[in-house]
Amino acid sequence: MDICLSRRKLQTGAQLPIAYLTCNFAPPVGEQPCLMTHNDVQTLFHEFGHCMHHLLTKIEWPQVNGINGVEWDAVELPSQLMENWCWDEEILSRFAHHYQDGRPMPEDLKDRLLRSRSFQKALFLVRQLEYAMCDLRLHLEYDPEDPLDPLLLLDQVRSQVSVVPVPEWNRFLNSFGHIFGGGYSAGYYSYLWAEQLAADAWGRFQCEGSLEPGVGNALRKEILSVGASRPAIESFIAFRGRPPEQGPLLESYGLM
């Protein structure tokens, strides 16, 4: 998702926001149309969450409307939240049909798809903890007068959280581009933090209904429309009615 125009106030009236999605789906082949994998659908829903965050803003200052200026560890909230509808049985029954005869996805296939979501998620979680803790410690504890060997630091972190040992010759850190050239320096934790916010926000939809208009309007009013005009944590609390909790994330991982 990228921005074409931001909302702003002009002498001629309001300039409405425009965003676009750059997709890389498999093209049609012969008479067969473009067919999307479930992973493709997730990506589309994810990026469309960013798109809605930009399009539904009511703030007229481009520096703080839409996705602009939103804290790095919260800007993924709308996009990661949107992914949950790809795993909702009611939503799947609406669009997951055979492209030739229109039959809905077989129940057995749907069940296996839904169960696959939590496959090895606990290992994924501790791996993300490993990456985030290593990133934070590398930036927090660096002493130019007495620098610690980064590989030794990673070994210390792995001794705390890793389940599967890695061989001594492993040099993952040398290619951890996120924290060196990818803009995530001391911010890799934001992946899990934003995912926690999204899982907790989805908990309200689970309680009140995934297609309940009142919840959707609250999401629009308290998060999507306000951009960075206030701290993201305040927007989350306004929507959820309380600070974020860890339980919904663990539940989404199948760990509760």
- Residue by residue, pLDDT tens for the chain (256 residues) are 999 999 999 999 999 999 999 999 999 999 899 999 999 999 999 999 999 999 999 999 999 999 999 999 999 999 999 999 999 988 998 989 999 999 999 999 999 999 999 999 999 999 999 999 999 999 999 999 998 899 999 999 999 999 988 999 999 999 999 998 888 999 999 999 999 999 999 999 999 999 999 999 999 999 999 999 999 999 999 999 999 999 999 999 999 8
Could you tell me if 8 and 15 are in contact, meaning their C-beta atoms sit under 8 angstroms apart? yes
The terminus-to-terminus CA distance of the chain in angstroms comes to 34
Distance CA 168, CA 182 (A): 26
pLDDT at 69: 95
> Which residues, 6 or more positions from 139, have their beta carbon under 8 angstroms from its beta carbon?
185, 186
pLDDT at 106: 92
pLDDT tens digits for range 202-215:
999 999 999 999 99
Per DSSP, the three-state class of 53 is helix
CA distances in angstroms from 54 to 85, 101, 179, 227, listed in the order given: 19, 37, 26, 8
pLDDT at 203: 96
Which of 57, 85, 86, 81 shows the shortest CA–CA distance to 69?
57
Per DSSP, the three-state class of 168 is coil
Q: Which of 31, 47, 90, 168 is catalytic?
A: 47
What tokens appear for 208 in the block? 């009140």
pLDDT at 183: 87
What element of type H or E holds 10? strand 8-10
Distance CA 24, CA 22 (A): 7
CA distances in angstroms from 64 to 50, 67, 110, listed in the order given: 15, 8, 41
Which of 125, 250, 128 shows the shortest CA–CA distance to 200?
250
For residue 89, indicate whether it is catalytic. Answer: no
Could you tell me if 5 and 60 are in contact, meaning their C-beta atoms sit under 8 angstroms apart? no
Which domains are assigned to the chain?
2-120+191-252 (1.10.1370.40)
Distance CA 63, CA 6 (A): 9
Which residue in the block uniquely carries the two structure tokens 């620098």? Answer: 147
